[in-house]
């Protein structure tokens, strides 16, 4: 079977985002961008399934500007076989991304789609679930363990109280949580090899998908900063402050 | 028009996160119904009918709703959506799992993790790990929303008197099957709702050493949390994780032990009322958000703190 993996180019997880001074958006000029960390986990899982002989081909897909080619090359350097960029300069919201991915799923007919559970820029945590809904497929979100069988997949999910085990009918959509695996480091020879792997570029119009945003961004602002606190000398001073000043214990 | 809140429950009891979601619905200034879909969950429907501000409880009982599977629950909500202007759920793992599927089936956008209702079309939600607040407006016919529970004070669980209406179940989609669950057993308060949280980070060093965090938590009657680094290192299970991609908490007192204060951790706890940080690195970013910072070795300071609390 084929696996389709969706990867997003997002702000690097070490960078603290700030609103633009005019409040129209987030300052992203000259900010370091990387593959969304949960999508790295998704790519890694696809590769491990391929290494286990469960998967013939891994197709990495990204939606966004031309620079997303770098993100796809990273996925291919990790081990994806080819890439598809749905190129667009405009902002695409999760529902639009899900519709684009559905169009590619209809075309490529993968048995499994794996995505990160959440992108660390807009923090939506929606695309995988939306894609599963549009396809009428089962969804295994926040996956901590994935075992692919013949026509089903067993998924252990991270839920609020612990873990939940589900069996899903294939084809299915899975979203990766933190503990699913530890993504491999990309080796230099593989970066060179990835440059030769096929990368197709299409547009939302090519796929016949309306990606007009549904949510209007009115403004962005900075949350109220916490007032700076004090350092205490020792535990006795700390307990005294908590009892008498903050009155929280 | 009315708002619909999807109840969070385990078929036996109503999860209090539902009360926060009802509180957000109340801010819309319109009546609110609650959907209780589950299996043998009559007691939950009865509890939901007591919640202040609820007009009607829709009780749908069938085996395939027992575990909140999105493949079965989403079509049920879609069937009801014509009667509602808003569909809300708490931003728990269940809410996050099902609401986007509902949105896609309705061909509408979803608003994740709202922290403020400006008007029935306009909401504030944190993005970029809470470093930016986005005010967004939806013109979709149905607004589908998950609610950050810490941003809305729970409505009273008692005092309401809603009618309970039985709802005919839809079919089992047959796409997914519940196989079991491994729930963390703890006598401590629930992390997301605790008054006091004691969290440990990478500095704790090992799963065994986490006992020191638990000891302090028990002294304070607190829940135990952890940073992503501590979860990553395997010291504790993932459901302990406080942060951007874990749980968001806002207790009265948050004690961060051996946590440096990465962006993604701060996103999950910086709305706590009082923050205490214990860390040996005085330059650690956690001290920038801490009301009370104690620079020192946690293996010395935490036992000393436990002792000082006895005095």
- Report ipTM (2 d.p.): 0.96
Length of chain A: 249
CA nearest neighbour of B289 among B264, B268, B261, B259: B261
Residues of chain B contacting A183 with CB distance shorter than 8 Å: none
The pLDDT of residue B254 is 98
The residues in A 121-180 lying below 8 A from B, measured between CB atoms, are 121-134, 136-142, 144, 154, 157-169, 172, 177-179
* pLDDT (average), residues A4-33: 95
pLDDT at residue A227 tops 90: no
Q: So where are chain A's domains?
A: 2-244
What is the pLDDT, as a whole number, of residue A70?
Answer: 97
Instruction: Please give the pLDDT value at position B1.
Output: 87
Q: Which residues of A touch B309 (CB under 8 A)?
A: 239, 249
pTM for this model (two decimals): 0.95
Pure H helices in B1-148: 17-26, 42-50, 70-80, 93-106
More confident residue, B31 or A198: A198
Helix (H) or strand (E) holding B232: helix B228-232
Q: What average pLDDT does the segment B123-148 reach? A: 97
User: Degrees (nearest 5) of the Cα angle B128, B26, B28?
Assistant: 70
Q: What's B194's DSSP letter?
A: -
Task: Look up residue B154 and give its DSSP letter.
Answer: P
DSSP state, B130? G
Mean pLDDT of A94-109: 98
pLDDT at B186 over 90: no
Whether the pLDDT of residue B50 is over 80: the answer is yes
Average pLDDT of B7-20?
A: 97
User: d(Cα A231, Cα A97) in Å, to the nearest integer?
Assistant: 47
Check pLDDT > 90 for residue A228: no
Nearest CA among B152, B135, B102 for reference residue A126: B102
Residue of A114, A121, A156, A158 lying closest to A137 (CA atoms):
A114
Q: Is the peptide bond before A215 cis (omega within 30 degrees of 0)?
A: no
CB spacing of A235 vs B301 below 8 angstroms: yes
User: Burial of A137 by CB count in 10 Å (0-12 exposed, 13-18 middle, 19+ buried)?
Assistant: buried
The pair of three-digit structure tokens given for residue B233, joined into one six-digit string: 């290192």
Q: Chain B residue closest to A127 (CA)?
A: B100
Could you say which DSSP state residue A242 is in?
I
User: Running DSSP on this structure, what letter comes out for residue A85?
Assistant: E
Topology classification of domain A2-244: Rossmann fold (3.40.50)
**Measured distance CA(A153)–CA(B151) in Å, rounded:** 37
- Please give the average per-residue pLDDT across B74-95, as a whole number: 97
Closest CB from A17, A161, A166 relative to B176:
A166
Q: What is the pLDDT of residue B250?
A: 95
Q: pLDDT at residue B311 above 90?
A: no
Chain B residues with CB under 8 Å of A98 CB are 104
- How far is the C-alpha of A211 from the C-alpha of A204, rounded, in Å? 7
The neighbouring-strand residues paired with A62 are A85
Q: Are A177 and B228 in contact (CB under 8 A)?
A: no
B237-283, pLDDT tens digit by residue?
999 999 998 999 999 999 999 999 999 999 999 999 999 999 999 99
pLDDT band at B185 (very low <50, low <70, confident <90, very high): confident
pLDDT value for B98? 98
In terms of Cβ atoms closer than 10 Å to its own Cβ (0-12, 13-18, 19+), residue A44 is buried
Any idea which of A80-89, B20-29, B179-188 has the lowest mean pLDDT? B179-188
Question: Exposed/middle/buried for B171, CB within 10 Å: 0-12, 13-18, 19+?
Answer: exposed
* Residue A2, token pair as written in the block: 């084929």
């Amino acid at each position: 079977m084929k696996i389709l993996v969706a990867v997003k180019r997002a702000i690097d997880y070490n960078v603290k985002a700030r609103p633009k001074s005019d409040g129209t958006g987030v300052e992203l000029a000259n900010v370091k961008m990387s593959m969304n960390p949960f999508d790295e986990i998704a790519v890694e899982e696809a590769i491990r399934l391929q290494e286990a002989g469960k998967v013939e081909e891994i197709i990495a897909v990204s939606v966004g500007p031309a620079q997303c080619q770098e993100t796809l090359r990273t996925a291919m350097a990790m081990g994806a076989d080819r890439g598809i960029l749905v190129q667009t300069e405009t902002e695409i919201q999760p529902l639009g991304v899900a519709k684009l991915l559905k169009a590619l799923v209809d075309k490529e007919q993968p048995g499994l789609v794996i995505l990160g559970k959440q992108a660390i820029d807009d923090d939506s945590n929606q695309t995988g679930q939306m894609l599963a809904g549009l396809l009428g497929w089962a969804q295994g979100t926040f996956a901590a363990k994935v075992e692919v069988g013949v026509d089903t997949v067993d998924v252990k999910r991270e839920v609020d109280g612990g873990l939940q085990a589900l069996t899903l009918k294939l084809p299915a959509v899975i979203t990766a949580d933190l503990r699913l695996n530890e993504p491999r480091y990309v080796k230099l020879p593989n970066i060179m090899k990835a440059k030769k792997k096929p990368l197709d570029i299409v547009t939302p119009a090519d796929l016949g998908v309306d990606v007009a945003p549904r949510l209007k961004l009115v403004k962005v602002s900075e949350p109220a900063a916490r007032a700076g606190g004090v350092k205490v000398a020792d535990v006795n001073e700390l307990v005294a402050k908590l009892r008498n000043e903050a009155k929280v214990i | 028009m009315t708002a619909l809140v999807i109840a969070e429950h385990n078929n036996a009891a109503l999860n209090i996160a539902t009360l926060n979601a009802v509180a957000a619905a109340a801010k819309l200034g319109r009546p609110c119904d609650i959907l209780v879909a589950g299996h043998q969950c009559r007691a939950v429907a009865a509890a939901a009918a007591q919640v202040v501000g609820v007009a009607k409880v829709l009780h749908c009982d069938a085996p395939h709703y027992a575990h909140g599977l999105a493949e079965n629950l989403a079509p049920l909500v879609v069937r009801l959506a014509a009667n509602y202007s808003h569909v809300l759920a708490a931003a728990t793992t269940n809410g996050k799992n099902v609401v986007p599927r509902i949105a896609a089936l309705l061909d509408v956008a979803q608003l994740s993790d709202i922290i403020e209702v400006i008007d029935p079309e306009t909401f504030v939600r944190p993005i970029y790990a809470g470093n930016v607040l986005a005010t967004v407006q939806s013109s979709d016919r149905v607004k589908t929303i998950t609610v950050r529970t810490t941003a809305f004070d729970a409505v009273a669980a008692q005092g309401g008197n809603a009618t309970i209406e039985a709802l005919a179940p839809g079919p089992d989609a047959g796409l997914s099957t519940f196989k079991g669950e491994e729930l963390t057993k703890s006598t401590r308060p629930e992390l997301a709702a605790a008054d006091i949280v004691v969290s440990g980070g990478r500095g704790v060093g090992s799963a065994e050493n986490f006992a020191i965090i638990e000891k302090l938590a028990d002294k304070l009657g607190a829940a135990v949390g952890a940073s992503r680094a501590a979860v990553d290192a395997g010291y504790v299970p993932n459901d302990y994780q406080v942060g951007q991609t874990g749980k968001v908490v806002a207790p009265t007192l948050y004690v961060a032990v051996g946590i440096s204060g990465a962006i993604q951790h701060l996103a999950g706890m910086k709305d706590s009322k009082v923050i205490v940080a214990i860390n040996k690195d005085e330059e650690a970013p956690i001290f920038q958000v801490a009301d009370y910072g104690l620079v020192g070795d946690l293996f010395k300071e935490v036992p000393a703190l436990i002792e000082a609390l006895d005095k």
